[in-house]
Amino acid sequence: MYNAIHIKASSTLTLISSADVDWASSLYDSRSIAGYSIYFGRALASWQSKKQHVVAHSST
């Protein structure tokens, strides 16, 4: 298998990443969901969304 990325010499590339977590948004089990995305130029290179294993508890 051969994989390659072809980039034009005149292209301006940016690497953009973002991440977010929502705190205990699941009403059923009070677990948080975390996720991230990574863009290479305008193309989505990687992403993931995952429900946390630990139940969130308030500290107040």
Q: What is the pLDDT of residues 29-45, one digit of tens each?
A: 778 889 999 998 888 99
* 25 token code pair: 């948004």
Reported pTM: 0.63
pLDDT in tens, 14-33: 889 999 988 776 677 778 88
Q: How confident is the model at residue 48 (pLDDT cuts 50, 70, 90)?
A: very high
Domains held by the chain: number: 1
Q: How confident is the model at residue 51 (pLDDT cuts 50, 70, 90)?
A: confident
Beta bridge partners of 6: none
Q: What domain range is 51 assigned to?
A: 1-60
- Rounded CA gap, 15 and 6, in Å? 16
Q: Which of 16, 17, 23, 51 is nearest to 36 (CA)?
A: 17
